[in-house]
Structure 1
């Protein structure tokens, strides 16, 4: 096997939720450039269709709200009308909510926990049959949960349910991996740091300022996300199971804390 082929996605079929913008769009674009056929899903049909048109004929729009179990099952059923198997599932759709502790509402808690934790589980469950159809331990299918460095370390904002949800999804990734590896399905997680997106408006609108707190002195770009996402989807990572790949320019693992001495 050529080392170049380790990262090829030629002939593979992928589904990326939240694929119409931000990190999801970056991942969809990267997979298409590596030869995959990519279905993208998002809650807003016009945005989903616009992105599919932009990314070309190997990108197919499947609009669906996956914030409920019914929505997850509906998306799986729609995909099954187009494909008899699925090689790669990227659980990227997510939400955040930031309100001071004293005012944090139940609605903000439930919305974030439902979309960020419940939906990846039940969408994977709904797609289990398609994921395992062509999977084997020699040629596994892949499930990639998009988590966050906020599931590993604290940020300074009042995003209580977001912190909890991403930490939960990182651990849920391990538990799902332990079950699905039996079917030749590898589950991993990708934890981004600062990438410009609708969810991370600080990185999008104040990138230069945010970069000052990142050891690499810049926010993440398309190539950074593409490299990590392609690695986890491709043959190159077939022996990586249940782990979380941190893509953050060193914030989690190479940033020194502050000293209280003196």
Structure 2
């Protein structure tokens, strides 16, 4: 009896070790190299954290070096921060030159950086219009254009758009148009890059609890009132979390979505889906 028990216990131990080994192997982005624009806060930062947890090395970008430094500390390892503005093509060239020198190629591009301000149509100035389009429509386009020559076969592009593009909301005329443009790019890129097995998709978040939302309002009180109004519009009656959008981005960046390309996935609590 004792011999039988001893043999059984010896047989179980290797299986337990194998289980833990498999858990390590199952990381979704093991040895992948990713770049995330606008990665110092909100959705971009949450995505960077998830990617590193899943085995990727991540480059994050942002306009403010101080915010990038904070983000790097939060992420902890396997991350590099590159200061720059996606509307500045020289900054994009610097970013991708650095990635090429250090890593040689890329597997994942997350085009997340953007700009928004609430301005009704009759108050939109040429300067505001140009800033919005230069950052969102132009910056996103050239981010991906400059990345695709470095993208490995089987790579993934994910663009962070917005549910606003589908809603015709006041105060967002030019912002909504830039986000519609981004989704149009995605469909073209999905077709253009299919021969290289590179997939292109977008996510369209609804109101998410991020600095991006807070910054649209003049002060804390106005922000809280505005977010309460947003939450009332959402069937789930709450704002989303950055981590919830990041989980969808992880899905699209990984092989879990290997037969999905050219798609736009709403992450909006049903805001644009339930009529």
When the two structures are superposed, what TM-score results if normalisation uses the length of structure 2? 0.83
Matching of residue 227 in structure 1 with residue 247 in structure 2 = yes
> Does structure 2 conserve the Cα–Cα contact (< 8 Å) formed by 1:76 and 1:123?
no
RMSD value over aligned CA atoms?
A: 2.1
Q: Say which SS state the counterpart of residue 262 (structure 2) adopts.
A: coil
Please state whether the residue corresponding to 1:194 is helix, strand or coil.
Answer: coil
- Equivalences for 1:185-196 in 2 at 5 Å? 185-196=198-209
- The offset of 1:77, in angstroms, is 1.1
Residue 242 (structure 1) aligned with residue 255 (structure 2): no
Give unpaired runs (5+ residues) of structure 2. Answer: 1-21, 218-222
The match for 1:144 among 145, 151, 158 is 158
Partner of residue 205, structure 1: 224
Q: Establish whether residue 14 from structure 1 lines up as the match of residue 34 from structure 2.
A: yes
Aligned to 1:259: none
In 2: Cα distance, 1:208 partner to 1:102 partner = 26
Q: Is the 8 A contact 1:173 1:188 kept in 2?
A: yes
Superposition TM-score, scaled by structure 1 size: 0.87
Instruction: Report how far residue 211 of structure 1 moved.
Output: 1.9
Which range moved further: 77-86 or 97-106? 97-106
What is the aligned partner in structure 1 of residue 16 from structure 2? none
Contact 2:27 2:55 in 1 (8 A): no
The correspondence for 1:171, drawn from 178, 184, 202, is 184
Q: Give the ranges of 4+ consecutive aligned residues of structure 1 lying more than 6 Å apart after TM superposition.
A: 2-7
How far is the alpha carbon of 1:117 from its aligned partner? Answer: 1.1
Q: How many residues align?
A: 247
> Does residue 159 of the first structure (1) align with residue 172 of the second (2)?
yes
Residue 182 of structure 1 pairs with residue 185 of structure 2 = no
